[in-house]
Amino acid sequence: MRILSVALVVGVLLACGGGGRSTTVAGADGAEVDVAAVASVARKLRAQPQRADEILAEAGWDRVRFEAALFTIAEDPKASVRYAKLLQQQP
Amino acid sequence: MRSSARLSFFVLVAAGVVAGAQEPAPSTPPAGAPPAVVAAEAADDAEEGPERKGRGRDPVVVALGLPQAAQAARQSGLSEDEVRATLRAAREAGVGAAETTELLRRTSKLAREHGPVEGFADLVKAELASGKRGRDLATAIKAAHVARGRGPKGGPPVEGVAEAPVEAASPASEPPAPAAAAEQAGGVP
């Protein structure tokens, strides 16, 4: 029973953020920005800049909100580095 | 007891699969990577995209480089607080993410050449409050770095020195061409 309890705790910890590596960052207004989600859209925008508005709309963003998310990421050094690394991955 | 152990094994495997699906980022920098290396990698990433090469100068595409530009500014000697205050000042003044990206890229270059300016965020706030944007803002920031830059290695400003500080990214990581082109074009995509 003890083994089961330990396994459940470990499982929950792993499932909730992959060992503590959260992908969200809080902005000045308290809103949470998902760095991975923004980077995913950014990769698509880089690949097809002529489809910018379509790509943003498909992902549920508009230009104002997307730029605000980029500002929020830029304010956080760790989130900035993480975004840059995620941007390297294929769309 | 044996069935508990078996169940635990399946729980662990399932949790690993869920975590793996959430976190497909094996390319994150090693925990002990020096800041300069991380910044150089980030700058290299940015160079690959159209936001650095000037292709498709849609402002939202240029703005994709904002986090890297902010990180480059930090590596060029600006403090985290200065960079954060500068970003907030730009945002509050209604300056777009694309123009802020160009502003930070130019600032990084100037800070590497002349050293960072004390109270940089206050300077930007004052210039924005006076209505300066684009080329006028870039000119004011350049003048401040030439006159008040602390020098590339903490000493007095030295003319023509392009050597990066010890902790800064390599100058090669941010070629001058895009910034110069942006300045000629007025700085705003």
Q: Mean pLDDT score of chain A, rounded to an integer? A: 84
Q: What is the ipTM of this complex?
A: 0.80
B104 vs B76, B87, B185, CA distance in Å?
10, 9, 16
Q: What is this structure's pTM?
A: 0.64
Q: Is the pLDDT of residue B157 over 80?
A: no
The helix/strand count (H/E) of chain A reads as: 5, 2
Cα separation, B118 vs B115, whole angstroms: 9
Q: Which residues of B touch A79 (CB under 8 A)?
A: 67
A66 vs A38, A42, A53, B66, CA distance in Å?
8, 9, 11, 12
What integer is the mean pLDDT of A67-90?
Answer: 95
Angle at B101 between CA B170 and CA A67, to 5 degrees: 135
- Cα B129 vs. chain centroid, distance in angstroms? 23
Alpha-carbon gap: B108 to the closest alpha carbon of chain A (Å) = 14
CB atoms within 10 A of CB A27: 16
Alpha-carbon gap: A11 to the closest alpha carbon of chain B (Å) = 5
Q: How confident is the model at residue A75 (pLDDT cuts 50, 70, 90)?
A: very high
CB within 8 Å: A49 and B56: yes
Alpha-carbon gap: B149 to the closest alpha carbon of chain A (Å) = 23
What integer is the mean pLDDT of A24-28?
Answer: 88
- Confidence at residue A31, expressed as pLDDT on a 0 to 100 scale: 85
Q: Which residues of B touch A17 (CB under 8 A)?
A: 22-23
Radius of gyration for the alpha carbons in chain B, expressed in angstroms and rounded:
21
Do B62 and A70 meet the contact criterion of CB atoms below 8 Å apart? no
CB within 8 Å: B61 and A10: no
CB within 8 Å: B18 and A12: no
Q: How confident is the model at residue B166 (pLDDT cuts 50, 70, 90)?
A: very low
Look up residue B63 and give its two tokens.
């703005």
Name the closest residue on chain A to residue B13, using Cα atoms: A11
Do B102 and B182 meet the contact criterion of CB atoms below 8 Å apart? yes
Look up residue A45 and give its two tokens.
């925008």
Nearest to A41 by CA among A24, A28, A53: A53
Phi then psi dihedrals of residue A34, to 5 deg: -85, 110
Percent of chain B with pLDDT strictly greater than 90: 47
Name the closest residue on chain B to residue A61, using Cα atoms: B60
- Confidence at residue B152, expressed as pLDDT on a 0 to 100 scale: 73
Name the closest residue on chain A to residue B75, using Cα atoms: A77
Q: How confident is the model at residue B4 (pLDDT cuts 50, 70, 90)?
A: low
Q: Is the pLDDT of residue B171 over 90?
A: no
Over residues B85-135, the pLDDT tens digits come to 999 999 999 999 999 999 999 999 999 999 999 999 999 999 999 999 999
Q: Is the pLDDT of residue A81 over 90?
A: yes
Do B113 and B145 meet the contact criterion of CB atoms below 8 Å apart? yes
Do B11 and A8 meet the contact criterion of CB atoms below 8 Å apart? yes
Alpha-carbon gap: B60 to the closest alpha carbon of chain A (Å) = 7
A67 lies within 8 A of chain B by CB: yes
What integer is the mean pLDDT of A13-22?
Answer: 48
